[in-house]
C-alpha cells in the first residue's frame, strides 16, 4: 500500500493532474473544473482563515492530458497568510481524498508524533494534526462541497478525462493520488452531516437459502432457512412460487435450497459505524429457482 504525505506542499502551490490522452482536455471542461476548484479553495480559506480573501492563480502547465500549477495569494495586497501553504493545500487534498474514499470501510487511524496516519483505500495517508483538524472543520461548510461537486461534474461530463490527481510538483512522474473516472460521481455526491445520516434503510440481496422448515401453502408464516451459516426466518411473498408449491410443481426436501431475492431493513449503529441487519424484517420477495440437495 502506497504511503503518501498530504502535508508537504511547497511554495504555497498545488498541481492538478487531469489524466487522459495528451492534449485532449476540452477548454470548457478545464475552465469549469478550475472555477469549481477555485470556489472550493476560497470556501476552505474562509473556513480555516476567516477574514482573509485570496486569489487562485494558474501558473503553469505540464505533462499528462493536462497539468496545471495553482498558487494561493492574498488578494489586493501582500503579506503572509495565517494558514501556511503546506497546511492549506494539505487540507484541500485531504478533503478531496476523503470524499473519494467516503464509501469505503471505516479507515484505520493512528495518531503519533509524525501526525495522523490514515490507512484506507489504495493508500496510507500521513497528514499533520493541523491538516486533519482543518479538514474536519471544512466538512461543515456546504460551500466547500459545492465547489468540489462543480469540479467533478465538469470532469464527468467530458469522457476524455480518465482520472484526476493531486501532486506537489508539475514535474512529478506520478500524482500523489489519482481518482479514476468511475469514482467521479462518488466524489461529487455530498456526504450528509452526522445528524442528517438516516438511521435505517431498506436493502435487497440475492441469496441461497437452505430450507430448514417449510410451510407448503399460502400462509404468511415464516419459513426457516440457513443463510451464510446463520439461521434466518422469513415469509415468502412470491405468489407464483407458492402456487407452484401448491400444485406440487416444486418439491422440497431436507437440505434443498432456494436461490431467492431477500429484502430486509438495516439500522445504523453509530458506535460501531456499521449497518446492522434487522433479523425480524427478512422477507423472501422472489424465488428464482429451487436447488436440490447434492447427494
pLDDT band at 88 (very low <50, low <70, confident <90, very high): confident
Tell me: the pLDDT tens digits for 125-137?
A: 888 888 888 888 8
The DSSP secondary structure of the chain, one letter per residue, reads: -EEEESS---TTEEEEEEESSTT---HHHHHHHHHHHHHHHHHHHHHHSTT--EEEEEEEEETTTEEEEEEEEESSS-S--SS-HHHHHHHHHHHHHHHHSTTSSPPEEEEETTEEEEEETTEEEEE-HHHHHHHHHHTT-HHHHHHHHHHHHHHHT-TT--EEEEES-TT-SS-SEEEEGGGHHHHHSPPPPGGGS-SEEEEEEEEEEEEEE---SS--PPEEEEETTEEEEE-B--HHHHHHHHTTSS---TT-EEEEEEEEEEEEETTTTEEEE-GGG-EEEEEEEEEPPP-
**What is the overall mean pLDDT for the chain?**
82
* Residue found by looking up cell 460551500 in the block: 143
Inter-CA distances, 237 with 109, 211, 246, 288, Å: 44, 16, 14, 13
Cell of 226: 440457513
pLDDT band at 63 (very low <50, low <70, confident <90, very high): low
pLDDT band at 6 (very low <50, low <70, confident <90, very high): confident
Tell me: the pLDDT tens digits for 42-53?
A: 899 888 877 666
* Residue found by looking up cell 424465488 in the block: 287
Whole-number Å distance between alpha carbons of 48 and 51: 10
Whether the pLDDT of residue 78 is over 60: the answer is no
Q: What is the pLDDT of residue 82?
A: 63
* Residue found by looking up cell 460501531 in the block: 272
Closest CA to 160 of 17, 31, 23, 36: 23
Of 12-21, 30-39, 56-65, least confident by mean pLDDT is 56-65
Tell me: the pLDDT tens digits for 206-248?
A: 999 999 988 877 777 899 999 988 899 999 999 999 998 888 8
**Opening angle at CA 175, ends 173 and 176, nearest 5:** 125
**Exposure letters 269-293 (e unless 16+ CB within 10 A, then b):** eeeeeeeebeeebbbbebbeebeee
Closest CA to 163 of 96, 102, 118, 104: 96
The DSSP secondary structure of 4-66, one letter per residue, reads: EESS---TTEEEEEEESSTT---HHHHHHHHHHHHHHHHHHHHHHSTT--EEEEEEEEETTTE
Whether the pLDDT of residue 195 is over 60: the answer is no
Amino acid at each position: 500500500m502506497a504511503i503518501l504525505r498530504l502535508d508537504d506542499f511547497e511554495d504555497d502551490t498545488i498541481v492538478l493532474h487531469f489524466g487522459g490522452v495528451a492534449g485532449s482536455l476540452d477548454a470548457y471542461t478545464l475552465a469549469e473544473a478550475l472555477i469549481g476548484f477555485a470556489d472550493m479553495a476560497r470556501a476552505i480559506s474562509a473556513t480555516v482563515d476567516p477574514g482573509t480573501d485570496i486569489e487562485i492563480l494558474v501558473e503553469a502547465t505540464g505533462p499528462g492530458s493536462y497539468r496545471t500549477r495553482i498558487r494561493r495569494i492574498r488578494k489586493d495586497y501582500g503579506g503572509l497568510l495565517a494558514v501556511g501553504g503546506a497546511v492549506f493545500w494539505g487540507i484541500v487534498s485531504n478533503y478531496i481524498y476523503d470524499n473519494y474514499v467516503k464509501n469505503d470501510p471505516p479507515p484505520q487511524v493512528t495518531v503519533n508524533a509524525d501526525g495522523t496516519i490514515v490507512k484506507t483505500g489504495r493508500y496510507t495517508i500521513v497528514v499533520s494534526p493541523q491538516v486533519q483538524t482543518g479538514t474536519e472543520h471544512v466538512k461543515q461548510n456546504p460551500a466547500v462541497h459545492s465547489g468540489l461537486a462543480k469540479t467533478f461534474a465538469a470532469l464527468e461530463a467530458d469522457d476524455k478525462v480518465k482520472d484526476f490527481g493531486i501532486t506537489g510538483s508539475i514535474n512529478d512522474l506520478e500524482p500523489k493520488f489519482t481518482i479514476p473516472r468511475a469514482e467521479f460521481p462518488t466524489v461529487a455526491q455530498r456526504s450528509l452531516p452526522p445528524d442528517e445520516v438516516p438511521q435505517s434503510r431498506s436493502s435487497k440481496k440475492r441469496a441461497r437459502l437452505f430450507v430448514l422448515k417449510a410451510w407448503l401453502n399460502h400462509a404468511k408464516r415464516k419459513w426457516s432457512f440457513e443463510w451464510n451459516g446463520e439461521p434466518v426466518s422469513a415469509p415468502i411473498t412470491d405468489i407464483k412460487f407458492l402456487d407452484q408449491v401448491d400444485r406440487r410443481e416444486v418439491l422440497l426436501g431436507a437440505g434443498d435450497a432456494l436461490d431467492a431475492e431477500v429484502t430486509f431493513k438495516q439500522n445504523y449503529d453509530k458506535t460501531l459505524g456499521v449497518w446492522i441487519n434487522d433479523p425480524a424484517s427478512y422477507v423472501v420477495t422472489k424465488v428464482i429457482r429451487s436447488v436440490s440437495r447434492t447427494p
